[in-house]
Structure 1
Amino acid sequence: METGADAVLLMTSKTSLIEKTQQRYIDALEKRIAALEQQADNTKQILPTSTPTSTAASSTVEAPPPDTSAPSTTKEADKSDESKLLKSATSIQAYSRFFGKVKIVGRRYSKDNEEKKEKPIGKEEVISDVQPADGVSDSEKKTTEPCVHSHGGTVAPMILTLGLDDDDFIIKANVRIADPELQALIQIVFAHYPGFGPDMVVTTLDSPFEPFIQYWRDLQALAKGQEDHPAVLAFRNRLQRFKESGQDMTGWPKRLDDFAKSDDGLERTRQNLEMLLEVIHEAVRGRAGDQSLSRILEDDSSTSQEIVNFENLWTVYKPGDIVVSRVFLDELQAFIVHESMESAMERKGFSPHWRLVCWTYDWTGKTFRRIPAELRVEFFKGSRKVQSLPVFPVKYLSEAERSHLEQRGRRFQKICLSNKGFRLFQYTGDSILRASGIGKVHLTRVLDNDKNTDQWQSPLDALGKLLHELIHGTDFTNTVVAEIDGAEQVVIDALSFRDYGPGKHYQHKNQLPMGNLRFWKQTKACRCSVCQENFELNESQRSHYDLEPAKIREEFSDPTQYLICPPRVLGYHLSRKRWVELKVTEVKDIKQRVDTRAFDYLQMESVKSKELLKSLVMSHWNTKRSDNKGKMQDLMKGKGESLVILLYGPPGVGKTLTAETVALATGRPLLFVTVADIGLDPEKVEENLIDVFRLAASWEAIILFDEADVFLESRSNDTASLPRNALVSELLRVLEYYDGMLILTTNRLRRFDHAVMSRMNLAIRYPDLNDEQKKRIFLQFLGQLDEDSTTDRARIEQWIRDEDTREQLDGLNGRQIRNILFSAAKMTSEQEGGKLSLEAIKRLAQATKRFAQEIRADMEASRVKNEPSYRTM
């Protein structure tokens, strides 16, 4: 085998021969051009295979001898094109330094205006070839594979194919790697890159040579042998890993196996790698109309990559890199790049965009897992700063911003791992509304910005959305933002969101909404053996971030896991009965989750009833927290463990307030359930009821069936009442095996089904409020105001205690008293210097009493007329 030094000596000794050959070639070519000018036609084809010089070091191609026979018109035209091709300063001549070292072939392309792309014309024709060195026998020439060093011959280590347009400008280029050892080196360097790897032999590289441009500096360091460079060290580590693991090389040429296990494989292949980089550099520089890539390769400064045009966005997004975007309420969020591609949609109504398939990180309710998603960069003209793009690399973040993302990720993990019974939090701020209701869940309608109304999507939009979800993945780009004021209670639970909330209607269960993020249909990483066994690829794509359920409570092994956690959690807004996305940073722990003094503020006529209620509630709560030792049980295991409380009486006397007090005293969520949540469809009643009770069990919540008489009326034989009968029957069946707490309220006790009544553990009657209770309610609400919030607090308190006030408050309930004070405070805040006055309270009390009397009279007359059973009460 010839060494590099031998080749140099050979070139020196033959310098004069080469110069003579070049001059003879030029003279012959000029004569040929003059002879064929009159015969040239418009046919354009790549010149036929030319005969190269006899030496491997030659940088020119031997001119073909004159053809003494009468050539045809077509042949003359071909040779005319041959001269034009070789003289083209903007294309082929730029590659002349590779003549004799690299096999170069060409092919013409013609523009297809209809399909807006180039189509090949004719066949590939050789421009320059490489011959075996002197001393190689004819038999060896026939059997020698490219770059087989042991044979002593040198043939083309790579084949460069150039595509030319009608003006001889190069519009396409690819390189076919013929050297097996160079193939091995490339595959080991890019073992982490999708499409490469130990079991995937890559022989063809197409322009614009994405992976090579993205890792250009690393490849240069490898070619130059900079041993202390991180890329070279990483390469050495991979080689060592291959040696130690004995990785299966099935399907590879044996030489690849030898290369991976040898100590000098890299040294032998560096020259060919350096030549490959030079060829790629020339191909990039000669690409028509695009000089930005060439600047990236030639400029060592970082500024060369801070500005980019749309066509070269792929240079910004390397597979495995961390990028940042804003998809949820303008919050920064990090993603792992899997691949990027340009979308070529040019249909009416669609604009081209750059699509990134990325990994986001999320809590599924059972484990932390990467979820494939799609980010987009819409088409733009000219150049832009990388940092101004809607998706940009994480390296552009400041240290403070990066630290914020990591701390937010730690908070995200802590919230998601909250134990059962401790998922109740406070929240203030913007949220994204996804659905409303429990049991019977209604997906959120999208906002029609043109008409400023809340409407359903048009059938066409709905069809397009469905097709997108079937082909690609779930599309959550339509969002409704709702503000939550005043530190209201929310339950954070992704699993319930998926199983009992809006997730019941989603096509892909693990794709839970994340702002405007589009999800990708493929829900898991590739499971083929090639990808699964590719350590570098899995490391680059962070497949180890997909945690097994047994490891979810451990500290994340990599800080980047915290970095890529989403800025939102999923939950349920209790008072508004909405399924929402919430900002992680605005979710706050409740300082005093359990308030044992809550019952002290509850106004009940019977002290004994209040004490009995408190005793039952706390006993049931403590029993669920204990190991149930010594507890009485039903004959059937799992039955009779619920606590069912019935509160009945007129409106506004504290029934709902009692349920809220029980929830506050035990620190548990309170689920308001109405007939709208259950429905009356016999086919759905059971499913909806089961979902409600399972949801309550998951949250250890208290269920409140407010105005329960609406759907728990006595069953009858009337056909029209069959749906309601089904509801009562299902409730009774589900209630048998429910172990939580259920509170029912009603002001029409006699309409209750008797079977329901028999399930009650405690029933408490609430009569109209007496004068003393009304005064205490007044003073309790007044006590929430500061001294400076009233004009004369002493006068107001005295008026409340005055005997003459009794008549003014006669007939008012607790809810009305609350409304009087709240309305008076709001009215005076705008009209009387922001201070509550006695005069405002009196005016509102008189108006409320007058309105209540009129409503009560109308309701009494209506019920006497329409409800025969009411007359007997």
Structure 2
Amino acid sequence: MHHFPGEKDVLKLTIYPVRFAKDYQGTLEQLRERGRKFQDILSRRHPTLTYQGWSTVRDPLGNLLRDDKGQTLIIPRHIDSEVVVDFREAFQSSPWWKPQYSKPFKNVFSPKACTDRFPIICWADDGRSEPINQHYEIVVQKDDVQCLEYNKFLEGDQFIVDQDERPPGSITDNKKQVLGPDNLALLPSRIFGYALRERAFYNLDIRFMKELPVMDDPLGSLRIEDESKTQIQALIYHHFKKKKAQEVAATKGHELMDQDFIRGKGRGLVILLHGAPGVGKTATAEAVSYSEKKPLFHITCGELGLHHKVVESNLTEVFRLANLWDCILLLDEAEIFLSPREKKDENLQRNTLVSIFLRTLEYYKGILFLTTNRVGALDEAVKSRVHLSLGYPHLAEEETLDLFRMNLRRLARIEDERAEILEEKPMTIETDDIMKFASQHYRSQGQHFRWNGRQIRNAFQIASSLAHYQHKLKPHRLFIGAEHFQEVENATKKFDEFRQQTLGKTDDEIAGAASITRTSPETSFFTICRNVSWAENNSTTTFG
């Protein structure tokens, strides 16, 4: 604090005692609550939370931070993603983020004293006629009391000196380190985490962190066969159980036997999801992540780069982090890594990418979901590495109606929440009319123009927007009905017909020409299992 003349309002000082602050008790309680949140997050192993807010670009002292490339961070980034909290990995990525703490040592008690230059004389009488005695006093120049107090503070504080470094018999010997109210208030406001959507580490503000929402039976909302759900759950359960056993064995100096003869190979679980767009492939991986309470690491091939060296580096790092954090890794639209390798010179780069993917995949120890709509064009080596394959046909009528019912329930909750927050009357949802429209839409439209799951979701969003805008123009019309969905159908049908006229083919015909398999609504799902403990003799089992 710099010197200033005269008096100054204590609240205008750079630093002042908290008791002078307005409502300081409330402020302290907020800081303690923040500290309890910080303590709870760090008490868990690689916790996953949601984050919606800005990253921080300054350290607690106000200095600008640097990113993982050493460049100064000036502009914060807005993040809306799930984040995995991992201080150790963040410090590996950006070592300069790690705070540098000095290790405190006890000071040497060193008081200073000297002899006074002026003697003390004892006179014979009050007239000072004759000196009887004289001596010089010892004057204390420095009592060094602050050193004694500092050493006592070091010995008594539970956190400044680590418990393992304390000598036996010290004041805090055999006492647990417990965070008191004042300690909680002093805990940091920033946390180091990895944003799964941005695929990078950030300095995060703890205020914007929230727990993941809880979903009731996420797998139950999937419109796939119960047998397929059971297969997925069984494989994932066994994978994590085996992984836990391997970790426990490693702590005891043992290594469990693997199905593969080569050490480290074949420990992962690869699930291939194939079918037409919008039939639930991505939703399956999302539902599994919610069901298993594991983070979903969602990437596409384009995010990994184009040059083979960059792809290999990024893919290796993604696989490493996904396995470390027990993520459900989803590689969406993975055609570029799954396509057959050819001998033509112009396909060398693609062949290289497929080879890199297969080699890296062989040593991946986590769970990987692959999605594609080109199942007719798979490399033979990819097929042998897939443990479970699920085909997703076009939606049948009952499945379409189920999706409408599910979206209607969700729309009702959304409208109720919106009305409560804005203190408005909620929209009336004409459920019966909308369900009649859903059935009529499915039966009247050809297979090429029927809505898939993603289009149904989009239709609900558009219909809701149309209804709200209609209410703005005509306040007495406070409902969402079949007429709004009919408007959506008219618009999408015009586009589909124009696209068919322009290309001369339907999407299914184009897909067939490109070796994309799109099954009919009557085609059942199928699964293929490989290298699972309950598949005897490591054989391939097909379930119809």
TM-score, normalised via structure 2 length = 0.67
Task: Verify: 1:617 aligned to 2:236, yes or no.
Answer: yes
1:644 matched to which residue of 2?
A: 270
2:205 matched to which residue of 1?
A: 583
Counterpart amino acid of 1:831? Q
Counterpart amino acid of 1:815? R
1:404 matched to which residue of 2?
A: 30
2:221 matched to which residue of 1?
A: 601
CA distance in 2, matches of 1:583, 1:841: 42
Task: Verify: 1:741 aligned to 2:337, yes or no.
Answer: no
Q: 1:469 to 1:734 in 2, by over 3 A?
A: closer
Contact 1:650/1:767 (CA < 8 Å) preserved in 2? yes
1:799 matched to which residue of 2?
A: 437
Task: Verify: 1:839 aligned to 2:483, yes or no.
Answer: yes
Q: 1:802 to 1:827 in 2, by over 3 A?
A: closer
Q: 1:525 to 1:844 in 2, by over 3 A?
A: same
State the shift of 1:825 in Å: 1.0
2:96 matched to which residue of 1?
A: 508
1:525 matched to which residue of 2?
A: 102
Counterpart selection for 1:820 from 459, 473, 479? 459
2:427 matched to which residue of 1?
A: 789
Contact 1:433/1:579 (CA < 8 Å) preserved in 2? no
Task: Verify: 1:689 aligned to 2:282, yes or no.
Answer: no
Counterpart amino acid of 1:568? R
Counterpart selection for 1:633 from 259, 262, 275? 259
Q: Which structure's CA Rg is the greater one?
A: 1
Q: Which runs of 5+ in 2 are unaligned?
A: 58-62, 111-146, 167-175, 250-255, 417-425, 518-544
2:495 matched to which residue of 1?
A: 851
Counterpart amino acid of 2:430? D
Q: Secondary structure at the match of 2:376?
A: helix
Task: Verify: 1:430 aligned to 2:61, yes or no.
Answer: no
Contact 2:273/2:370 (CA < 8 Å) preserved in 1? yes
Counterpart selection for 1:478 from 74, 77, 82? 74
State the shift of 1:618 in Å: 3.3
Q: CA RMSD in A?
A: 4.3
Higher relative contact order (CA closer than 8 Å, sequence separation 6+): 2
Contact 1:545/1:561 (CA < 8 Å) preserved in 2? no
Provide, for residues 63-97 of structure 1, a one-character-per-residue CA deviation record: whole Å limited to 9, x for no partner: xxxxxxxxxxxxxxxxxxxxxxxxxxxxxxxxxxx
Counterpart amino acid of 2:193? G
1:59 matched to which residue of 2?
A: none
Q: 1:525 to 1:580 in 2, by over 3 A?
A: closer
Q: Secondary structure at the match of 1:752?
A: coil
Q: Secondary structure at the match of 1:715?
A: coil
Contact 1:556/1:562 (CA < 8 Å) preserved in 2? no
1:163-174 to 2 correspondences below 5 Å: none
Contact 2:55/2:205 (CA < 8 Å) preserved in 1? no
CA distance in 2, matches of 1:547, 1:651: 57
State the shift of 1:674 in Å: 1.8
2:252 matched to which residue of 1?
A: none
Q: Secondary structure at the match of 1:731?
A: helix
1:11-26 to 2 correspondences below 5 Å: none
Q: Secondary structure at the match of 1:490?
A: strand
Q: 1:762 to 1:477 in 2, by over 3 A?
A: closer
Counterpart amino acid of 1:572? Y
Provide, for residues 213-255 of structure 1, a one-character-per-residue CA deviation record: whole Å limited to 9, x for no partner: x9xxxxxxxxxxxxxxxxxxxxxxxxxxxxxxxxxxxxxxxxx
CA distance in 2, matches of 1:549, 1:496: 25
Q: 1:683 to 1:494 in 2, by over 3 A?
A: same
1:829 matched to which residue of 2?
A: 468
Q: Secondary structure at the match of 1:743?
A: strand
1:493 matched to which residue of 2?
A: 86
CA distance in 1, matches of 2:204, 2:279: 35
Contact 1:812/1:852 (CA < 8 Å) preserved in 2? no
State the shift of 1:477 in Å: 6.0
Provide, for residues 229-288 of structure 1, a one-character-per-residue CA deviation record: whole Å limited to 9, x for no partner: xxxxxxxxxxxxxxxxxxxxxxxxxxxxxxxxxxxxxxxxxxxxxxxxxxxxxxxxxxxx
Count of residues in correspondence between the two structures: 435
1:23 matched to which residue of 2?
A: none
CA distance in 2, matches of 1:650, 1:866: 12
Counterpart amino acid of 2:361? L
CA distance in 1, matches of 2:481, 2:199: 35
Provide, for residues 584-642 of structure 1, a one-character-per-residue CA deviation record: whole Å limited to 9, x for no partner: 2443334637x5x22221112x4433433333233334444557999863323432221
Contact 2:374/2:515 (CA < 8 Å) preserved in 1? no
Q: 1:871 to 1:726 in 2, by over 3 A?
A: closer
2:116 matched to which residue of 1?
A: none
CA distance in 2, matches of 1:549, 1:723: 55
Provide, for residues 723-758 of structure 1, a one-character-per-residue CA deviation record: whole Å limited to 9, x for no partner: 444433332223223221100001112333322221
Q: Secondary structure at the match of 1:705?
A: strand
Contact 1:811/1:849 (CA < 8 Å) preserved in 2? no
State the shift of 1:386 in Å: 4.5
Q: 1:430 to 1:546 in 2, by over 3 A?
A: farther
Q: Secondary structure at the match of 1:764?
A: strand
Provide, for residues 793-818 of structure 1, a one-character-per-residue CA deviation record: whole Å limited to 9, x for no partner: 22222332348754288432111111
Counterpart amino acid of 1:480? P
Task: Verify: 1:664 aligned to 2:286, yes or no.
Answer: no
Counterpart selection for 1:562 from 184, 193, 198? 184
1:700 matched to which residue of 2?
A: 326
Provide, for residues 84-126 of structure 1, a one-character-per-residue CA deviation record: whole Å limited to 9, x for no partner: xxxxxxxxxxxxxxxxxxxxxxxxxxxxxxxxxxxxxxxxxxx
Counterpart amino acid of 1:757? K
CA distance in 1, matches of 2:95, 2:500: 50
State the shift of 1:645 in Å: 0.5
1:16-55 to 2 correspondences below 5 Å: none
TM-score, normalised via structure 1 length = 0.44
1:287-306 to 2 correspondences below 5 Å: 292=5, 295=6, 304=7
Provide, for residues 430-484 of structure 1, a one-character-per-residue CA deviation record: whole Å limited to 9, x for no partner: 22278xxxxxxxxxxxxxxxxxxxxxxxxxxxxxx99x979xxx89662335264
Deviates more, 1:750-759 or 1:557-566: 557-566
Contact 1:432/1:479 (CA < 8 Å) preserved in 2? no
Counterpart selection for 2:450 from 773, 786, 811? 811
CA distance in 2, matches of 1:804, 1:291: 80
Contact 1:703/1:742 (CA < 8 Å) preserved in 2? yes
Counterpart amino acid of 1:790? T
Provide, for residues 817-839 of structure 1, a one-character-per-residue CA deviation record: whole Å limited to 9, x for no partner: 11001111123123225532211
Task: Verify: 1:387 aligned to 2:31, yes or no.
Answer: no
CA distance in 2, matches of 1:418, 1:776: 38
